[in-house]
């Protein structure tokens, strides 16, 4: 492709709304253009990268027996009602009516549609197992679109779904998907951290996320350096030693003027944060939910949602808290009413704690939950942190951040039972297919590759997904230079290379800056000076300096580089 005939633009300045490296370079390099918040158009340069990622992923899905399908993005309300997700999912599911006033949705996932397809074909155990996959644009009405392609509203997803006659069969394929994901991410230079995760709106019992370890990640990961335990912080299991002071000390009300936070109370009373307890309040189906966790830890809303079997939690209003006999900022379950109380398992056996006295400007000292609380439920409800211990080996945990590259779920029979995707087993008995689900956000993967591999000037694409394999840059207007560049361009095209020829009448600095933004692995510059010795500048995007090589050796060196 000759750049003089290409459809592109590049930008010198950093976009005002871009903060991540991938967002900056994708806009500056002319890969994508924002159409609306979280909705992007892909220019030819960006689409080439996306298509190569698709090819890479498709190969791995085919290698583990996948069959490609295509499912509609516009679906009926009734289909989603079959799975009960129409009412369970909040505003992120875009609902609308067609011209006949029939309720429809824009699919954010395709479990319903693929289960409908499976039940259309499936009848016998002899047809199992099988795996269907697709590349499909999806829409999620994301409230916090940010980071360019990291968190968007419209996105291209590779989603795959497997159907089995037993959990054991699902286990085998789940491992195949796991290994395929590792190969996919390794192929683009990423060594993912694989963590246990919440199943969320997908349902099921077991799920794993494949994460890129990066400071800009929105997910927090909990890791154990000793035994290898890894989990998303939202659902991570952990241990902590409950604070135990004087178990016989009686409750004592103390004056804590204007001290509402754990930090303020701890400093004022000169006590460690882990000797305090805090109350956090939520509203669920008009019921006040009171959660008590160690003062130095936070509530995991994911764990609480799973306990309550709800997809949405709202912060409780002060009026509801006050009506229960508790005072915001100075609260405790002591003498409370009209509330459901959960005590985190890591604090239920503690003693001699500081907690609110349900009176403005006052706290209790010497609180022992088992003695002083009534009508409570014990649950794993706190969020892990680096202050905790590994639940498997008692080693101190570490914490990092990550971008989710992909996920895999063991769905079980959640969808097949509700939607009647049944088959007859060897005894002629009707059974629900056991399902798995496996997703990769293609655009997010593209952005993550940049986050993982870039310098101050632009992306450094891996060879297999770069928009072009080699870029030829002609320097100057001399006819011999232009002729040599054109001849080399045609020669490489004939040999099957993907070549971009920068034949613009621009200064060398402009051409080189654009080349850096496009991250093409090999840049070959031809100038009057290099041609005097029948040479060219050979520069790898991953290297800072170039070398002079013979013009006649370019083809052989390219073949070696891409061998």
pLDDT digits (tens, 9 = 90+) for 437-452: 999 999 999 999 999 9
Residue 450: predicted pLDDT: 98
pTM for this prediction? 0.89
Same domain, 231 and 289: no
Q: Do 368 and 439 belong together in one domain?
A: no
The span from the CA of 325 to the CA of 355, in Å, is 15
> Rounded mean pLDDT of 89-100?
94
66 lies in the same domain as 96: yes
Residues 146 and 225 in one domain: yes
Please give the average per-residue pLDDT across 303-325, as a whole number: 92
CATH of the domain at 490: 3.40.50.800
In this structure, what CATH number is given to the domain that contains residue 259?
3.90.960.10
Q: How far apart are the C-alpha atoms of 116 and 110, rounded to whole Å? A: 10
Render pLDDT for 527-551 as a digit per residue (tens, 0 to 9): 999 999 999 999 999 999 999 999 9
CA–CA separation, 398 vs 316, rounded Å? 32
Q: What is the pLDDT of residues 272-290, one digit of tens each?
A: 999 999 999 999 988 999 9
Q: Is 391 among the domain residues? A: no
pLDDT band at 312 (very low <50, low <70, confident <90, very high): confident
257 and 231 co-located in one domain: no
Find out whether 366 and 252 touch, Cβ atoms under 8 Å: yes
Q: Please tell me whether residues 477 and 517 are part of one structural domain.
A: yes
Average of pLDDT values for 192-198?
89
Sequence-ordered list of residues with C-beta below 8 angstroms from that of 414, at least 6 positions apart, any chain = 83, 203, 204, 435
Q: Is residue 462 part of a domain?
A: no
Residue 386 covered by a domain: no
Q: Is 486 helix (H, G, I), strand (E, B) or coil?
A: helix
226 located within any domain: yes
Q: Judge if 108 and 39 occupy the same domain.
A: yes
Report residue 143 as tokens. Answer: 């409230």
Terminal-to-terminal C-alpha distance of the chain: 22
Look at residue 389 and tell me if it is in a domain.
Answer: no
Note whether 276 and 150 are same-domain residues. no
Q: Are residues 176 and 309 in the same domain?
A: no
Under the banding of pLDDT at 50, 70 and 90, the label for residue 425 is very high
For residue range 26-37, list pLDDT tens digits in order. Answer: 999 999 999 999
- Provide the residue range defining the domain that includes 37: 3-236+400-451
* Overall average pLDDT of the 336-347 stretch: 96
Structurally, the chain folds into a number of domains equal to: 3
CATH number of the domain bearing residue 434: 3.30.930.10
Instruction: Specify the pLDDT at position 204.
Output: 59
pLDDT tens digits, one per residue of 360-414: 999 999 999 999 999 999 999 999 999 999 999 999 999 999 999 999 999 999 9
Read off the DSSP letter of residue 192: -
Q: Are residues 335 and 476 in the same domain?
A: no
- The region of weakest confidence among 60-74, 191-205, 506-520, 543-557 is 191-205
Residue 247 falls inside a structural domain: no
**Dist. CA 348–CA 368, nearest whole Å:** 8
What is the chain's mean pLDDT, rounded?
A: 95
CA separation for the pair 357, 387 (Å, rounded):
27
Is residue 245, in this structure, part of any structural domain at all? no
CB 335, CB 214: distance < 8 Å: no
Please give the full DSSP string across 487-512, using - where no structure is assigned. Answer: HHHHHHHHTT--EEEE--S--HHHHH
Residue 203 has pLDDT above 70, yes or no: no
DSSP string, 13-70: SPPTT--SHHHHHHHHTTSEEEEETTEEEEPHHHHHHHHHHHHHHHHHHHHTTEEE--
Report whether pLDDT(202) > 60. Answer: no
Task: Provide mean pLDDT across the span 480-509.
Answer: 97
Regarding whether 230 and 262 lie in a shared domain, the answer is no
| Contact assessment for residue 336 and residue 325, using Cβ atoms and an 8 Å cutoff | yes
Establish if 465 belongs to a structural domain. Answer: no
59 and 173 together in one domain:
yes
Cβ(327)–Cβ(417) under 8 Å?
no
pLDDT of residue 316: 96
What pLDDT shows up at residue 285? 87
DSSP state, residue 552: G
């Amino acid at each position: 492709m000759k750049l003089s005939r290409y459809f592109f633009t590049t930008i010198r300045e950093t976009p005002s709304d871009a903060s991540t490296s991938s967002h900056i370079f994708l806009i500056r390099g002319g890969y994508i253009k924002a159409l609306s918040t979280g909705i992007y158009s892909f220019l030819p340069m960006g689409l080439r990268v996306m298509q190569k990622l698709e090819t890479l992923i498709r190969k791995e899905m085919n290698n583990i027996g996948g069959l490609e399908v295509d499912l509609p993005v516009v679906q009926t309300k009734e289909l989603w009602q079959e799975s009960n997700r129409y009412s369970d999912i909040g505003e992120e599911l875009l609902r609308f009516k067609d011209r006949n006033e029939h309720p429809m949705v824009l699919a954010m996932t395709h479990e319903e549609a693929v289960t409908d397809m499976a039940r259309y074909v499936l009848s016998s155990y002899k047809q199992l197992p099988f795996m269907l996959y697709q590349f499909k644009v999806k829409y999620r009405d994301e409230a916090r679109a940010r980071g360019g392609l990291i968190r968007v509203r419209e996105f291209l997803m590779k989603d795959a779904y497997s159907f089995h006659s037993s959990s054991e069969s699902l286990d085998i394929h789940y491992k195949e998907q796991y290994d395929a994901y590792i190969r996919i991410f390794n192929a683009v230079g990423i060594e993912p951290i694989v963590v246990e995760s919440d199943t969320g709106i997908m349902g099921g019992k077991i799920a794993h996320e494949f994460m890129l370890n990066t400071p800009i990640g929105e997910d927090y990961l909990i890791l154990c350096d000793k035994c290898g335990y890894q989990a998303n912080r939202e659902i991570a299991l952990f241990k902590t030693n409950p604070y135990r002071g004087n178990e016989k000390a009686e409750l004592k009300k103390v004056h804590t003027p204007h001290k509402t936070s754990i930090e303020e109370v701890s400093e004022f009373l000169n006590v460690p944060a882990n000797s305090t307890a805090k109350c956090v309040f939520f509203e669920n189906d008009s019921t006040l939910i009171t959660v008590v966790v160690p003062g130095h830890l936070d509530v995991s809303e994911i764990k609480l949602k799973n306990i309550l079997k709800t997809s949405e939690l709202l912060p409780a209003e002060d009026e509801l808290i006050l009506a229960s006999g508790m005072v915001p900022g100075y609260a405790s379950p002591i003498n409370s009413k009209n509330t459901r109380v959960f005590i985190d398992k890591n604090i239920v056996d503690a003693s001699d704690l500081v907690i609110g006295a349900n009176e403005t400007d006052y706290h209790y000292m010497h609180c022992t939950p088992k003695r002083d609380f009534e009508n409570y439920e014990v649950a794993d409800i706190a969020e892990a942190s680096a202050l905790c211990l590994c639940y498997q080996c008692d080693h101190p945990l570490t914490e990092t951040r990550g971008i989710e590259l992909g996920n895999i779920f063991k769905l079980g029979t959640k969808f097949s039972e509700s939607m009647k995707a049944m088959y007859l087993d060897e005894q002629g008995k009707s059974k629900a297919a056991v399902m798995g689900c496996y997703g990769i956000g293609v655009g997010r993967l593209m952005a993550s590759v940049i986050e993982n591999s870039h310098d101050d000037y632009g992306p450094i694409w891996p060879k297999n997904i770069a928009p072009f394999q080699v870029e030829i840059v002609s320097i100057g207007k001399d006819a011999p230079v232009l002729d040599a560049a054109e001849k080399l361009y045609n020669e490489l095209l004939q040999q099957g290379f993907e070549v971009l020829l920068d034949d613009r009448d621009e200064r060398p600095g402009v051409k080189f800056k654009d080349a850096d933004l496009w991250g093409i692995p090999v840049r070959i510059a031809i100038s009057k000076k290099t041609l005097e010795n029948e040479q060219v500048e050979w520069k790898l995007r991953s290297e800072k300096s170039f070398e002079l090589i013979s013009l006649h050796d370019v083809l052989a060196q390219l073949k070696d580089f891409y061998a």
